[in-house]
């Protein structure tokens, strides 16, 4: 039965802090998450030439996992989570994906038995659907579900997917700075697809693994990357911040369909999702600089239960292989966070983390604990994806407007605040009218957009 979140798990910013969730979890080899401690979560990706054959693929993942665990022993790490983001070829070749998971779990068990390391393995299946050729409900979806089944059969602890429903519309909406297109693509189309997909995932998983929730990478992370830094801006930073707020609506759909956390790291909107659900959340920020730059930096750390690095290539650095080096940096970050918890100084450290970065950019500002709760509240006050998306966007605009002097926004960004607010206020009250209008608009703008993919 679908769950509808209508109340906040955290309504006081003083309660929304790193290392503590309303519903802590224990899984894998005695790994406890959200129970007063922040855990490093390491992600990695082989080079393409390391995946040329079944043998090299399995051996490479064996080397990566062993290297990570050896570095953990070297550093005295007691708790760690690994995430295998399956490349498309490991998703399509379901048996190979399962074999890699099996090998990794054997290594985790070995290091648990020999060194007492508490650990777990998250498996993220690639979204290999082609919305224009076969649709979002075609044969590739069956392969995705088969991949989940195979991972579960090989004892994966938690499963995830970065789904991309609505991508064919959000690309056009971002390019044209069309906030109505964002509400349509991210808030409505993607939410519908996430709900449909996660009901299937949860039904497949049953009680054999943990369904951990989706991420808005194809939407909000795309906007973040396009917004850039203080140079090479391709889209407005205010606009990108509003996209992030709306993305929480579509990611929430995975939890209302049965996901239970810990949320996946590249969903920066997880700060908002933690306020709503109370589930543990993995987050990334400055630690993901190996994969991309952003102005959000420290902010996600302020509420993280797992602290992750984004994918790092399996390549040689002076300090060792990339994943091992990333793990060490994550570990010392989490050591600082956990020491503050032990010394009962976590709120002091959180305050410093927030002050160091919150006014760097609108995208960072809306994700502070206080503002995450404001956006979370705006979302759950409504029940439809359309109303929730409008509320989230308007609240984000309000937050940015209230802080525009402290943000030292240039005039072009200030104009975007007014433009977005006006565009949102002029949208129709009726969802059906809005959908009909946007369907006509985007079927002309995007040849890949097929309304039937979203049962429209």
Whether 384 shows a pLDDT value over 80: the answer reads yes
Q: Is 114 exposed, middle or buried (0-12, 13-18, 19+ CB in 10 A)?
A: exposed
Neighbours of 423 (CB within 10 A): 17
pTM for this model (two decimals): 0.97
* Token duo for residue 177: 């700075």
Residue 66, classed as helix, strand or coil, is helix
Show me where the domains of the chain are located.
28-161+311-342, 166-293+360-456
Whether 1 shows a pLDDT value over 70: the answer reads no
φ/ψ of residue 268, rounded to 5: -60, -25
DSSP, res 130: B
Give the pLDDT mean for 157-167.
98
Q: Dihedral sign, CA of 12, 14, 17, 23?
A: negative
Whether 20 shows a pLDDT value over 70: the answer reads yes
pLDDT at 232: 80
CB 397 within 8 A of CB 23: no
For residue 313, the number of C-alpha atoms closer than 13 Å in the C-beta half-sphere is: 11
Q: Find the distance separating the first CA and the last CA of the chain, reported in whole Å.
A: 23
Whether 93 shows a pLDDT value over 80: the answer reads yes
Whether 117 shows a pLDDT value over 80: the answer reads yes
Q: Dihedral sign, CA of 296, 23, 115, 64?
A: negative
pLDDT digits (tens, 9 = 90+) for 225-281: 999 999 988 999 999 999 999 999 999 999 999 999 999 999 999 999 999 999 999
Closest CA to 281 of 8, 42, 31, 21: 21
Beta bridge partners of 278: none
pLDDT digits (tens, 9 = 90+) for 22-75: 999 999 999 999 999 999 999 999 999 999 999 999 999 999 999 999 999 999
pLDDT at 435: 98
pLDDT digits (tens, 9 = 90+) for 192-235: 999 999 999 999 999 999 999 999 999 999 999 999 999 988 99
DSSP, res 453: G
How far, in Å, are 117, 272, 276, 351 from residue 449 at the CA level?
47, 29, 31, 44
């Amino acid at each position: 039965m679908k769950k509808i979140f209508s109340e906040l798990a955290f309504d006081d910013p003083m309660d929304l802090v790193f290392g503590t969730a309303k519903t802590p979890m224990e899984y894998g080899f005695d790994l406890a998450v959200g129970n007063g401690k922040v855990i490093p979560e390491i992600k990695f990706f082989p080079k393409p030439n390391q995946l040329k054959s079944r043998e090299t693929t399995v051996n490479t993942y064996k080397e990566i996992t062993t290297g990570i665990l050896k570095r953990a022993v070297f550093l005295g790490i007691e708790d760690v989570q690994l995430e295998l983001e399956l490349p498309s070829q490991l998703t399509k070749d379901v048996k190979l994906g399962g074999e890699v998971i099996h090998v990794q779990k054997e290594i985790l068990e070995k290091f648990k038995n020999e060194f007492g390391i508490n650990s777990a393995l998250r498996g993220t299946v690639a979204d290999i659907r082609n919305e224009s050729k076969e649709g979002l409900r075609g044969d590739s979806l069956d392969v995705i579900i088969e991949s989940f089944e195979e991972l579960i059969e090989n004892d994966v602890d938690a499963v995830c997917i970065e789904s991309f429903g609505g991508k064919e519309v959000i690309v056009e909406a971002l390019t044209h700075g069309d906030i109505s297109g964002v509400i349509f693509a991210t808030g409505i189309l993607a939410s519908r697809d996430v709900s449909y997909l996660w009901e299937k995932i949860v039904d497949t998983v049953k009680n054999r693994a943990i369904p951990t929730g989706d991420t808005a990478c194809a939407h909000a992370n795309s906007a973040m990357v396009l917004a850039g830094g203080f140079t090479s801006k391709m889209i407005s930073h205010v606009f990108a911040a509003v996209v992030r707020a709306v993305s929480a609506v579509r990611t929430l759909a995975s939890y209302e369909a049965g996901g239970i956390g810990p949320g996946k790291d590249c969903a920066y909107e997880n700060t908002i999702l933690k306020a709503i659900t109370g589930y543990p959340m993995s987050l990334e920020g400055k630690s993901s600089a190996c994969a991309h730059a952003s102005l959000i930096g420290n902010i996600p750390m302020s509420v993280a239960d797992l602290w992750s690095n984004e994918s790092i290539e399996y390549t040689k650095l002076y300090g060792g292989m990339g994943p091992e080096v990333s793990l060490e940096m994550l570990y010392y970050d989490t050591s600082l966070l956990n020491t503050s918890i032990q010394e009962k100084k976590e709120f002091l450290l959180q305050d410093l983390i927030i002050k160091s970065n919150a006014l760097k950019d609108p995208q960072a500002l809306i994700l502070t604990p206080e503002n995450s709760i404001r956006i979370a509240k705006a979302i759950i006050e409504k029940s439809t994806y359309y109303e929730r998306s409008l509320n989230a966007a308007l609240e984000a605009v309000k937050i940015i407007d209230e802080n525009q002097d402290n943000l030292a926004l240039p005039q072009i960004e200030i104009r975007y605040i007014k433009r977005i607010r006006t565009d949102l206020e002029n949208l129709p009250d009726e969802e059906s009218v809005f959908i009909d209008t946007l369907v006509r608009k985007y079927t002309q703008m995007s040849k890949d957009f097929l309304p039937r993919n979203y049962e429209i």
